[in-house]
Amino acid sequence: MRLAPECRACLLSRVVAEAEYAGADAETVAATLRCCTDLYDCRASEPIGASVIAGAVHRCCYAMIGSADPYAGLKVQDNAVAERVADAVRPMLSTVHDYVVAAVIGNAMDYGVAGHEIAKDFTGYFREMFARGLALDDTERILALARRVVYCTDNCGEVVFDKMLCGELRRRGSHVTIVVKDQPMLNDVTIVEARSLGLEEAADAVYHAGGGAQLGLHPELYPPEVVSAMQDATLIIAKGLANYESLTEYEGLPPVAYLMTVKCEPVARHVGAKKGDLIAVLRYQ
């Protein structure tokens, strides 16, 4: 997926937000915004995926504010909140379809999109969205392919629900490899959070995607173990907008199931949904 006209304002608003998360003063915030704006404007016309340009802008921001992980505190907070919510809603989940819906609802725990806010009462939000269900639902087709799954995570917080889904897939006979980020990017899960949450309990293997601090997924950067897992996979499950934006730029992949809450109009247009929809869609690339 390529940049849309709305992407500029959205991305630059996130630059300001993460500079403020890191405690930068007003002068540093302003300088960071100028630098990131110049970078975006310089690269926006390049014929490459939106996540590549956005990732470069975020890395520029991190360098300017002197923080490798401005979301560190929020990641800890969101994981704790999600674990409490998961305990509260677990009795609602009985089928594997229920666990898919739960994982999609968890994707709302995201700071990367302007105008999107995380519900303060996430348990109440979860119950409301669970009752609403999926607007686009390829779950039956997705599960038919789930013999060997590579599950690509997105945000902290939601990863608690990902762990539940992966555990349920394994209980039903799937081989599951979980892939997280190599280095911090937004509030995405890295090996550090994967270990703290015990993701290995729900998977046959847990790897990072390589490439350092990257937004989304980029097969040319995968380490050998991830390349091997992808080659053997009967299904890739990709969580969230950035993974959607990046993987849709590639062909020759195993079938990809995109699980996400649609949080912006460009992605809504591209995937054929409405902003705010919960979706689980299968794509052959």
Res 263 pLDDT > 90: yes
**What's the pLDDT at 116?**
66
The β-bridge partners of 235 are 149
Q: Does pLDDT of 87 surpass 70?
A: yes
What does the mean pLDDT of the chain come to?
96
What distances in angstroms separate CA 176 from CA 171, 187, 204, 263, one per listed residue?
10, 23, 5, 27
Segment 248-264 shows an average pLDDT of 97
pLDDT (tens digit, 9 = 90+) per residue, 161-170?
A: 999 999 999 9
Length of the chain: 285
Q: Which CATH class is domain 84-283?
A: alpha beta
Residue 113: is its pLDDT beyond 80? no
pLDDT recorded at residue 114: 67
Element (H, E) at 78: helix 72-89
Residue 217: pLDDT above 80? yes
- Position 120 confidence tier, pLDDT thresholds 50, 70, 90: confident
Q: Are strands 148-152 and 235-239 parallel, antiparallel or unpaired?
A: parallel
pTM summary value? 0.96
Domain boundaries defined on the chain: 7-65, 84-283
pLDDT at 231 (0 to 100): 97
| Number of other CB atoms surrounding residue 115 within 10 Å | 11
- Distance in angstroms (rounded) separating the CA atoms of residues 104 and 76: 20
Cα–Cα distance for residue pair 64/30, rounded to 1 Å: 10
Q: Lowest-confidence range among 62-76, 116-130, 132-146, 227-241? A: 116-130
Could you tell me the pLDDT band of residue 111, with boundaries at 50, 70 and 90? Answer: confident
Q: What's the mean pLDDT in 103-124? A: 85
Q: What is the model's pLDDT at position 47?
A: 96
Are 34 and 41 a contacting pair, CB within 8 Å? no
Query: Which whole number is the average pLDDT over 264-281?
Result: 97
Whether residue 118 has pLDDT greater than 90: no
Q: Taking residues 44-59, what's their average pLDDT?
A: 97
Mean pLDDT for 261-278 is 96
**pLDDT value at position 117?**
76
Q: How far apart are the first and last CA of the chain?
A: 13
